[in-house]
Structure 1
Amino acid sequence: MRSNAFSIRRLLLGDPMASSQLIHEKISKAKALAVFSSDALSSVAYASEEILFVLAAAGTAYLRISLPISGAIALLLLIVGFSYYQTIHAYPSSGGAYIVAKDNLGTPFALVAGASLLIDYTLTVAVSISAGVSAITSWLPELVPLRLVLGVIAVAIVTLINLRGVRESATIFAIPTYMFISGIMLLIGYGLVQWLIHGSLPTITVNEPVHADIAVQGITLFFLLRAFSAGCTALTGIEAISNGVPAFQPPAADNAGKTLLAMVTLLGMMFLGISFLANQIGAAPSHTETVLSQIGRALFGSGPLYIGVQVATALILLLAANTAFADFPRLSSFMANDRFLPRQMGNLGDRLVYSNGITLLGILASVLIIIFEGDTHRLLPLYAVGVFLSFTLSQTGMVRRWLRLRSKGWRRNAFINIMGAIATCTVFLIILTTRFLAGAWIVLVLIALFSFVFLRIHTHYGQIAKALSLDAFGSASRPRVPVVVIPIGGVHRGVLKALEFARSLSPDVTAVHVETSEEEGDKLRHKWEQWGDGVRLITLKSPYRSIVSPLIQYLNQVREERQRDDIITVVLPQFVPAHWWENLLHGQSAWLIRLGLLFREGYIVIDVPYHINEMALREKLG
């Protein structure tokens, strides 16, 4: 059965890869753009629409303000993008917010940045998958009852693909990413040509437009800032490349920087292009149709080009989760290496990926989808809070770095980062204010809770290291003859094998039987006289039929009678059936005894397995 399970694992994940193959798992700029940019580029599908949703509260006359707001966001995109370009070259091993904050602001800020990003990566998967499933169910309404199932299945598929390795996932995800880029650029290019030729674009009638629950009298500065912050979802995912520098082919920093510039350029062009076209055709937020769909329908009609754009959009939304699968495990490994997360998170798996981090992210995202019923409107208030908090910490950390090092061009670089820090901090505060009651407070509580847990984990590792340290330990103590106890439930070949092993450890061996039936106890004692080879047998009466408690009480009594430094060695006979499922047919007393002694000082527990197939083989040969 184990070999069958191993074969299935190999079929799903591929053959194990040697550490020497890691260099061959590095990816090119073209594939890296697909892996690390799908989250950021997919925001084009809804960022302009988010601005229009806010402005619609003041009336359709104010929708045209979305264009200058989009321009301001594009400027912020350039500032943040150039800042991360500097960060990549300043931290070529990895330039994420966690590393920058740890190096320049200190551990507490680094933990806040790490917690913010880990939470947001999880939300990215949940939001992206839920949005992609919504696009599918909008096309095929009969699948709406299966929305949760489809979401969890989609997460499982993306998780499985990422577990196969970086190169394989990059190859698979490159196709839909470049389909989306091509489709959006074709849409924008065609729209601009039509606008240049005719001076205008065909307008559309929006079905079921969104109306505000509360009327807004005019436009205030805060209202404009709220629309600005809504559109800043276009920036989510821009930090992904700086976190994933080690995945690039050498020279990693140069290739990562060029990929970042390409992503920022594409994202800015597509975002501004969609906002411009939305203004020209009179697009408005609707309950039944996305703004991107309205633009496609106005320019392409309902033909193949329109369908192609919609399919590419659905795919990119589903696969935008892949960016989080690339960065969540890597950030987890950095924090694990710093002893703020369990060490297992820093271990590379069979396929040279951080499989524990990938699996954990898949589980957490699936739980979120189930809790929030795959509803993006319930998930979005939690989204982007952590991103802009980490942006602010990263920008502030870089300012601190320039002021400390004062290297060539430090004034210009510091100014860029100061402007970025002010802008991202402003957006963070606006998002926090406008979405606080809608769920943003949950993210703040989780960030604080996670930061506390990180510190506790770090403290634990420090205490363990101190307890195990050989400093001031002195010389090793002389070995003592152990006291050996063998719990037995019967007399059979497995027990005799354990007895043979126990006598090789010490002459002080005692067998212990917990008696729940006087008749069975008499049979066991008679059999032990024949096969026990003179080893003492202690019988413990158990009128309430408990096995573990009387044994633990006896072991504690033995320990009290011995010297303080004596170690009680408990040898557990355990027969192993030929098939795994046959274990379900037998009692688990050995496991319960082991569990009962696990946290008690002064005991060593040794399992002595006896494989049933070994016995059958010997009988066949003999």
Structure 2
Amino acid sequence: MANRMKRLLIGRPMKSKELEGEKLGRLKALAILSSDALSSVAYGTEQILIALMVAGFAAVWYSIPISIAVLGLLLILILSYRQTIYSYPMGGGAYVVAKHNLGTTTGLLAGSSLLIDYILTVAVSASAGTDAITSAFPSLHDHRVAIATVVILFLTLLNLRGVTESASVLAIPIYLFVVSIFVLIISGVVRYLTGGTHPDIPEIGTAVSNVSLFLLLKAFSSGCSALTGVEAVSNAIPNFKQPAERNAAATLVMMGVILGSMFLGISVLAYWYGITPSSNETVVSQIAASTFGRGFLYYFIQGVTALILFLAANTAYSAFPLLAFMLAKDKYMPHAFMVRGDRLGFSNGILFLAAFSIVLVVLFGGNTENLIPLYAVGVFIPFTLSQLGMMVRWVRQRPKGWGGKLAINTVGMLTTLSITLIFIFTKFAQVWMVFIFLPVVMWLFLRIHRHYVKVADELRIDLSADKPTIKGSTVVVPVAGITRVVSNSIGYAKSLTDNVVAVYVGFDDDSIERMEAKWAEWNPGVRLIVLRSSYRSITRPLLKFIDTVEWKTAETDHITILIPQFVTKHWWQHILHNQTGLLLRTYLFNRKDIVIATVPYHLKH
């Protein structure tokens, strides 16, 4: 039943040789890896305006130069990550760059920042998409958390079905969003040219007395939240069709052009229309309503905006499992993250990402504004470390034309470092948790790595000297009576060795006498040891007996506890029977020098 349900939801298992067919071309990669960056158009301008509104409506004109500055940073990042793609075609982005050029600790800082950022990406995207829906349908405002959770579960299921299938499904709404935003921008420009703008907007350059440098820097850093997701392409190079690095670089440039055009267009329209941020309606919603009214086009734009905000999480679903795979390969995360699922995706990484994202949505009540500062800090730390790592690489290797490449990365590093510091100083009350999460995650990475290294040292053998230790074997079979299950288990035990002992735990004299008499009558050729339990416990007397056997025979024999276990025909029938065997296995599991084996007997009814 469970397997049929799994096949229905996820699809048929795929062969390993089908992996090449799961690679992405440029158009599908643009949809699946750029959705996070492109979706930030829906809230990047809004974050700038929220910061500027402290100084009043007269300060809205600052959104234009700030948006241009954000585009300048976008250009630097595109050029920088394009260099990273060609330098590290195996993917990994900031983690690999920092680890190779700045050391393991710095690499782990970048890796942990990115992992946290991807979890926040899913939470922010789901919450922001919910905001777009509640802007159009205010009656749903109180159900934000439930809506966001359902969307995360849907995306999780979609990604468990495989990269190609999820890309095919997601490409349509993502490109619809791009087209609809450009239609909105063009329509807005036409309306501006025909004189339909806000009558009270301040002219660009108007002096505003209470605007400080601190406020402008805060607004700029807030607008830089539109740049999150830019690094995803460099992390996921292995997902591209060959030539992977060329396709990845082209996809990155396409994403930069589209993102920059849409972001600047929305910022200009927000200024022309005199849009101010509202807790109940997004900036894009207000622009669409001002341009088209609340008709079909308005609801269409709100619908695809909600979809792209939801689907922006898919960038994280593509990049998080790959990054987790690389960390696991380096022994900093559990090896389970290296295992591909039935559909050739890293299923454990996908499920882990979904679970923690839902926890964040619940903890923050689906509030996008509270999540975005954490989200942005998480991505600008890797931005900075990646740029610094590339600077070190150029200085060390000095390839042809390295001076220009170094200049690009230097400007990028200084800019992203400045933004990171601005975020920390201007939004410390909202981002302080990052300074707890990052050290904890790095500490966990180091503990995991230490464990794997010690286990490898302990298990390593000298092929020329270490040979298997050959001992005899003593098999102990706990029995609760004389049944086919016990007969089957003793038969198997005697096939392994002649040194077999059956152990029965009795609670009173009558039950013990009956068991001894029946055993003597049956006479299976195995000695029966009877233990009395004054406190009606089966496991305690058995454990004491096993300790005695272990003490006497550990040097000469392997000790095997062979537990008879019947398997019911239907899963629900398990609850109708005592689980003594399961309890005994649990107690014995951590005991040294004992082998635990189970002999199943399948019931017909």
In structure 2, the CA distance between the partners of 1:46 and 1:492, relative to structure 1 (3 Å rule), is same
Tell me, in whole angstroms, the C-alpha distance in 2 between the residues paired with 1:139 and 1:188.
Answer: 20
Residue equivalent to 1:160: 157
Residue equivalent to 1:319: 311
Contact kept? 1:573, 1:609, Cα under 8 Å: yes
Contact kept? 2:136, 2:302, Cα under 8 Å: no
Contact kept? 2:135, 2:282, Cα under 8 Å: no
Matching residue within 265, 279, 292 for 1:273: 265
Contact kept? 2:222, 2:373, Cα under 8 Å: no
User: Over residues 312-353 of structure 1, what are the superposed CA-to-partner deviations in whole Å (9 max), with x where a residue is unaligned?
Assistant: 111111111111111111111111111111111011111011
Shift of 1:194: 4.0
Contact kept? 2:131, 2:282, Cα under 8 Å: no
Residue equivalent to 1:82: 79
Contact kept? 2:26, 2:251, Cα under 8 Å: yes
Residue equivalent to 1:132: 129
Residue equivalent to 1:546: 537
The yes-or-no answer on 1:364 pairing with 2:356 is yes
Q: Letter of the 1:298 partner, please give it.
A: S
Q: Letter of the 1:497 partner, please give it.
A: N
Shift of 1:477: 4.2
Shift of 1:554: 1.4
The yes-or-no answer on 1:560 pairing with 2:555 is no
User: Over residues 29-70 of structure 1, what are the superposed CA-to-partner deviations in whole Å (9 max), with x where a residue is unaligned?
Assistant: 111111001110111011111111111101111110111111
Mapping for residues 51-70 of structure 1, pairs under 5 Å: 51-70=48-67
Residue equivalent to 1:596: 587
Tell me, in whole angstroms, the C-alpha distance in 2 between the residues paired with 1:507 and 1:307.
Answer: 79
Tell me, in whole angstroms, the C-alpha distance in 1 between the residues paired with 2:360 and 2:74.
Answer: 29
CA RMSD of aligned residues (A): 1.8
Tell me, in whole angstroms, the C-alpha distance in 1 between the residues paired with 2:34 and 2:116.
Answer: 19
Local SS of the residue matching 1:513:
strand
Q: Name the count of aligned residue pairs.
A: 599
Residue equivalent to 1:619: none
Shift of 1:220: 2.1
Contact kept? 2:135, 2:281, Cα under 8 Å: no
User: Over residues 54-102 of structure 1, what are the superposed CA-to-partner deviations in whole Å (9 max), with x where a residue is unaligned?
Assistant: 1110111111011111111100000011100111111111141111111
Residue equivalent to 2:465: 474
Tell me, in whole angstroms, the C-alpha distance in 2 between the residues paired with 1:274 and 1:477.
Answer: 71
Contact kept? 2:130, 2:148, Cα under 8 Å: yes
Residue equivalent to 2:499: 508
Q: Letter of the 1:266 partner, please give it.
A: I
Tell me, in whole angstroms, the C-alpha distance in 2 between the residues paired with 1:147 and 1:517.
Answer: 61
Q: Letter of the 1:18 partner, please give it.
A: K
Q: Where in structure 1 are there 5+ consecutive unaligned residues?
A: 207-215, 617-622
Residue equivalent to 2:204: none
In structure 2, the CA distance between the partners of 1:538 and 1:218, relative to structure 1 (3 Å rule), is same
Bigger shift: 280-289 or 408-417?
280-289
Q: Letter of the 1:579 partner, please give it.
A: H
Tell me, in whole angstroms, the C-alpha distance in 2 between the residues paired with 1:205 and 1:357.
Answer: 51
Residue equivalent to 1:213: none
In structure 2, the CA distance between the partners of 1:324 and 1:532, relative to structure 1 (3 Å rule), is farther
Q: Where in structure 2 are there 5+ consecutive unaligned residues?
A: 202-207
Contact kept? 2:35, 2:315, Cα under 8 Å: yes
The yes-or-no answer on 1:252 pairing with 2:255 is no
Bigger shift: 164-173 or 475-484?
475-484
Shift of 1:503: 1.3
Contact kept? 1:88, 1:95, Cα under 8 Å: no
Shift of 1:608: 0.6
The yes-or-no answer on 1:202 pairing with 2:193 is no
Matching residue within 510, 513, 524 for 2:515: 524
In structure 2, the CA distance between the partners of 1:532 and 1:126, relative to structure 1 (3 Å rule), is farther
In structure 2, the CA distance between the partners of 1:557 and 1:251, relative to structure 1 (3 Å rule), is same
In structure 2, the CA distance between the partners of 1:80 and 1:562, relative to structure 1 (3 Å rule), is same
In structure 2, the CA distance between the partners of 1:558 and 1:296, relative to structure 1 (3 Å rule), is same
Residue equivalent to 1:282: 274
Mapping for residues 154-303 of structure 1, pairs under 5 Å: 154-195=151-192, 197-198=193-194, 200-203=195-198, 218-303=210-295
Residue equivalent to 2:578: 587
User: Over residues 525-574 of structure 1, what are the superposed CA-to-partner deviations in whole Å (9 max), with x where a residue is unaligned?
Assistant: 22221234232111222211222122112111221222436321111111
Residue equivalent to 1:569: 560
Bigger shift: 130-139 or 403-412?
130-139
What is the TM-score of this pair, normalised by structure 2? 0.96
Local SS of the residue matching 2:564:
strand
Contact kept? 2:74, 2:227, Cα under 8 Å: yes
Shift of 1:224: 1.2
User: Over residues 567-597 of structure 1, what are the superposed CA-to-partner deviations in whole Å (9 max), with x where a residue is unaligned?
Assistant: 2111111111111221111111111111111
Tell me, in whole angstroms, the C-alpha distance in 2 between the residues paired with 1:563 and 1:203.
Answer: 89
Tell me, in whole angstroms, the C-alpha distance in 2 between the residues paired with 1:287 and 1:604.
Answer: 63
Residue equivalent to 2:205: none
Tell me, in whole angstroms, the C-alpha distance in 2 between the residues paired with 1:84 and 1:173.
Answer: 24
What is the TM-score of this pair, normalised by structure 1? 0.93
Tell me, in whole angstroms, the C-alpha distance in 2 between the residues paired with 1:128 and 1:495.
Answer: 57
Residue equivalent to 1:305: 297
Local SS of the residue matching 2:535:
coil
